[in-house]
Amino acid sequence: MDGERTSEAGRAVGQRVRRLRLERGTSLSALARAAGIGKATLSGLEHGTRNATLETLHAVAGVLGVPVTTLLLEPGAPPEQMAEVQGSAVTPTLIEVFREPGVTFELLHLRVRPGVSQRSPAHAPGVTEHLTAVTGVLRVGRAEEPVIVRPGEHHSWRADAAHIYEALGDEQATAVLLIRSPGAP
């Protein structure tokens, strides 16, 4: 979570954020402003003194125009080496990253805690999400028009606008999520 001492994996995430920001010629202030996060939060992330939430990393990845796994995983590393990160309601586990010319697919298993709604910031333009519920009942999709998804049901949405994840009821829900990012490295 934000504010705690970071692990080696957390410091590596910060180094990847910094490298991508510098490659794009973007200042710390400009990236923080565009991502809607505090400059101190971004600086702490880059310098390895703060861990980021899933929402923060999605905001940064969206502005940088990369899939979030680009920040969480070294290129070519196996999925189980992805840095651990949590959102306010969602804990993802990476299953696989698939890359084709001009598009990246991230396949994730999600655990969604009940009693809290997670608002995910907009991803880069053209990003879509495709969720299949496994257990529990979920409310997911674009923030202005979420839908209810039950086990075995599927919902897709454009993720280049704010979207939500919420487990309905008293039990944790699980799902499989495919994120498709066009133009991604």
Residue 16: which domain range?
8-72
Q: What is the pLDDT of residues 57-81, one digit of tens each?
A: 989 998 998 998 999 988 888 888 8
- The verdict on 87 and 130 lying in the same domain is yes
Q: What is the pLDDT of residues 68-118, one digit of tens each?
A: 899 998 888 888 888 888 899 999 999 999 989 999 999 999 999 999 999
User: Within a 13 Å sphere around the CA of 148, how many CA atoms are in the beta-carbon half?
Assistant: 5
In terms of pLDDT, which residue wins out, 172 or 184? 172
- The verdict on 65 and 92 lying in the same domain is no
What are the CA-CA distances from residue 138 to residues 64, 132, 165 (Å)?
Answer: 29, 10, 7
Q: Does residue 3 lie in a domain region?
A: no
Give the pLDDT score at 76: 84
pTM over 0.75: yes
Give the pLDDT score at 152: 98
